[in-house]
Structure 1
Amino acid sequence: MRLVYFSPVPWASFAQRPHKFVEWFHARRGGDVLWVDPYPTRLPELADFRRIKASGGSAMPLAAKRSAPAWLTILRPRSLPIEPLPGAGALNRRLWNDILQAIHAFIEKEECRLGIGKPSELALQVLARHPTVSSIYDAMDDFPAFYRGLSRIAMGRRERKVAAQVTRISVSSTALADRFATYHSKLTLALNACAIETLPSPSATTKSSGRPVLGYVGTIGHWFDWPLVFDLAEANPSMCIRLIGPIYALHPRPLPRNIELLPACDHATAMKFMQEFSVGLIPFKHTDLTASVDPIKYYEYRALGLPVLSTSFGEMALRDGLAGVFLMNKHSDLASLVRTAMASECEIDEMQEFRTANSWEVRFDASGILS
Structure 2
Amino acid sequence: MNIQKPILPKNLLCFSHLRWDFVFQRPQHLMSRFAREMNVFILEEPIFEDHVSDHLSFDNRNHQLTIITPRLQHGKNQDEEKLVMRKLLSEFLGDADMADWIFWYYTPMALQFSDQHAAALTIFDCMDELSAFDFAPKELVLMEKALLKTADVVFTGGYSLHEAKKEHHNNIHVFPSSIDKEHFSKARKVETEPADQAQINGVKLGFIGVIDERFDAELIRAVAEKRPDWQIVLLGPVVKVSFDSLPAGENLHYLGQKNYQDLPAYLSGWDVALIPFAINNSTRFISPTKTPEYLAAGLRVVSTPIRDVVKPYGIEKLVSIASNADEFIEAIEYSLAAKNEVTWKKNVDAFLEDKSWENTYEEMKKKILWTLFETDKLLAS
Structure 2 distance, partners of 1:127, 1:337, is 49
1:184 to partner: Cα distance: 4.3
Structure 2 distance, partners of 1:96, 1:36, is 13
Native 8 Å contact 2:211 2:237 kept in 1: yes
1:38 to partner: Cα distance: 2.0
- In the TM superposition, what are the counterparts of 1:351-370 in structure 2 within 5 Å? 352-367=349-364, 368-370=366-368
Q: Is 1:69 the equivalent of 2:62?
A: yes
Q: Is 1:134 the equivalent of 2:121?
A: yes
Which amino acid is the alignment partner of residue 274 of structure 2? Answer: L
Pick closer, same or farther for the CA change 1:135–1:227 going to 2, 3 Å: same
Equivalent position to 2:31, from 22, 38, 41: 22
Question: SS of the residue aligned with 1:261?
Answer: strand
Which amino acid is the alignment partner of residue 132 of structure 2? Answer: A
Native 8 Å contact 1:324 1:341 kept in 2: no
Give the aligned partner of residue 312 of structure 1: 305
Question: SS of the residue aligned with 2:176?
Answer: coil
Equivalent position to 2:138, from 128, 142, 153: 153
CA RMSD of aligned residues (A): 3.2
Structure 2 distance, partners of 1:195, 1:83, is 41
Measured against aligned partners, the alpha-carbon deviations of 1:57-77 in whole angstroms (never above 9, x if no partner) come to xxxxxxxxx961110223223
1:283 to partner: Cα distance: 0.5
Which amino acid is the alignment partner of residue 31 of structure 1? Answer: M
Give the aligned partner of residue 267 of structure 1: 260
Give the aligned partner of residue 92 of structure 2: 102
1:35 to partner: Cα distance: 1.7
Equivalent position to 1:12, from 21, 34, 37: 21
Measured against aligned partners, the alpha-carbon deviations of 1:197-238 in whole angstroms (never above 9, x if no partner) come to 433447626799x73211112222122112211222234332
Which amino acid is the alignment partner of residue 24 of structure 1? Answer: R
Give the aligned partner of residue 224 of structure 1: 215
- In the TM superposition, what are the counterparts of 1:48-59 in structure 2 within 5 Å? none
Structure 2 distance, partners of 1:141, 1:82, is 29
Measured against aligned partners, the alpha-carbon deviations of 1:292-328 in whole angstroms (never above 9, x if no partner) come to 1111111210010111111012412323232330111
Give the aligned partner of residue 63 of structure 1: none
Which amino acid is the alignment partner of residue 123 of structure 1? Answer: L
Unmatched segments (≥5 aa) in structure 1: 45-65
Native 8 Å contact 1:170 1:369 kept in 2: no
Q: Is 1:291 the equivalent of 2:291?
A: no
Structure 1 distance, partners of 2:265, 2:187, is 14
Pick closer, same or farther for the CA change 1:369–1:230 going to 2, 3 Å: same
1:6 to partner: Cα distance: 0.9
Give the aligned partner of residue 233 of structure 2: 242
Structure 2 distance, partners of 1:306, 1:155, is 37
Give the aligned partner of residue 60 of structure 1: none
Structure 2 distance, partners of 1:34, 1:333, is 46
Q: Which runs of 4+ in 1 moved over 6 A?
A: 80-84
Pick closer, same or farther for the CA change 1:218–1:145 going to 2, 3 Å: same
Identity of aligned residues (%): 19
Unmatched segments (≥5 aa) in structure 2: 1-8, 49-58, 194-200, 371-381
Structure 1 distance, partners of 2:202, 2:212, is 27
1:245 to partner: Cα distance: 2.2
Which amino acid is the alignment partner of residue 331 of structure 2? Answer: L
Question: SS of the residue aligned with 1:76?
Answer: strand
Native 8 Å contact 2:318 2:347 kept in 1: no
Task: With the length of structure 2 as denominator, give the TM-score of the two structures.
Answer: 0.78
1:267 to partner: Cα distance: 1.7
Give the aligned partner of residue 44 of structure 2: 37
Give the aligned partner of residue 106 of structure 2: 117
Native 8 Å contact 2:302 2:328 kept in 1: no
Give the aligned partner of residue 47 of structure 1: none
Measured against aligned partners, the alpha-carbon deviations of 1:155-191 in whole angstroms (never above 9, x if no partner) come to 1111111111110000102221122122342110001
Q: Point out the structure with the larger strand share.
A: 2
Structure 1 distance, partners of 2:175, 2:316, is 19
Give the aligned partner of residue 377 of structure 2: none
Give the aligned partner of residue 272 of structure 2: 279
Which amino acid is the alignment partner of residue 174 of structure 2? Answer: L
Structure 1 distance, partners of 2:125, 2:77, is 22
Q: Which moved more, 1:350-359 or 1:181-190?
A: 350-359
Measured against aligned partners, the alpha-carbon deviations of 1:247-289 in whole angstroms (never above 9, x if no partner) come to 3344658634322222222122332111111110010111111
Structure 1 distance, partners of 2:127, 2:272, is 26
Task: With the length of structure 1 as denominator, give the TM-score of the two structures.
Answer: 0.80
Structure 1 distance, partners of 2:125, 2:202, is 42
Q: Is 1:186 the equivalent of 2:176?
A: no
Native 8 Å contact 1:304 1:351 kept in 2: no
Structure 2 distance, partners of 1:255, 1:308, is 23
Measured against aligned partners, the alpha-carbon deviations of 1:85-116 in whole angstroms (never above 9, x if no partner) come to 5xx1x6632454232232254554x6321111
Measured against aligned partners, the alpha-carbon deviations of 1:100-157 in whole angstroms (never above 9, x if no partner) come to 232254554x63211111112x434434321x62111001111112244xx5431111
